[in-house]
Structure 1
Amino acid sequence: MKIALLAICAALLSACSSTVVGYGSQLEPIPGSITYGGQPRTRLTKAPVGSIVPHQFFDNFGHRVYETYIIEPDRSLRLTSRRIDYEVFND
């Protein structure tokens, strides 16, 4: 009985309102990402290499997406993490 209860609790916790993707896996840009469709034409020339660039936007389904990029030595951006907030707020 305790094992079944633990399994149910684990399933409920896995269905939380946000998801973190990344940290070791290769992320692909999605529509709204800075690097979707390739690297941006303008380079971040004043920011030091290794700087973190946060970015947030709404995806096609209205979910808020938070992404983190790191500036590479060639001044390109590497997508390192993505968090999607699935909560729906009605204002």
Structure 2
Amino acid sequence: MRRIILLATIGLITCSCDQTSTSHTGSFSLKPIPGSITYGGQPRMKLTKSPIGSQVPHRFTDQWGDDVYETYIIQPDRSLRLVDRKIIERRF
């Protein structure tokens, strides 16, 4: 429970000063976390056979053992844009 409160507090602090607007509608971009495909930059391999605008799902376990589900969209320059993240906490 303490971890949830700590993460919520950190999320509120970073939400107000770390996110950048990506469109005129006021939506914000998600920042990659360790384990994300784009953490540390775009992947070296270009997705040349996938159609532009298609979704790429990605699932991994974060450093706390929680399951993370991310969704990326392929951009016209073949880079990936992170558009959704769901974190499912493991209960012990």
Same fold (TM over 0.5): yes
1:68 aligns with 2:68: no
Q: Report percent identity of matched pairs.
A: 65
Match of 1:31 in 2: 34
Structure of greater Rg: 1
Structure showing the higher helix proportion among its residues: 2
How much is the aligned-residue C-alpha RMSD, in angstroms? 1.0
Give the SS at the match of 1:55. Answer: strand
Output the CA distance in 1 between the equivalents of 2:55 and 2:29: 17
Which letter does structure 1 place at the counterpart of 2:88?
A: D
Structure showing the higher strand proportion among its residues: 1
Which 5+ residue runs of structure 2 have no aligned equivalent? 1-26
Which structure 1 residue ranges, 4+ long, deviate > 4 Å from structure 2?
Answer: none
Residues 9-88 of structure 1 mapped to structure 2, 5 A cutoff: 24-88=27-91
State the structure with bigger RCO (CA 8 A, min sep 6), 1 or 2: 1
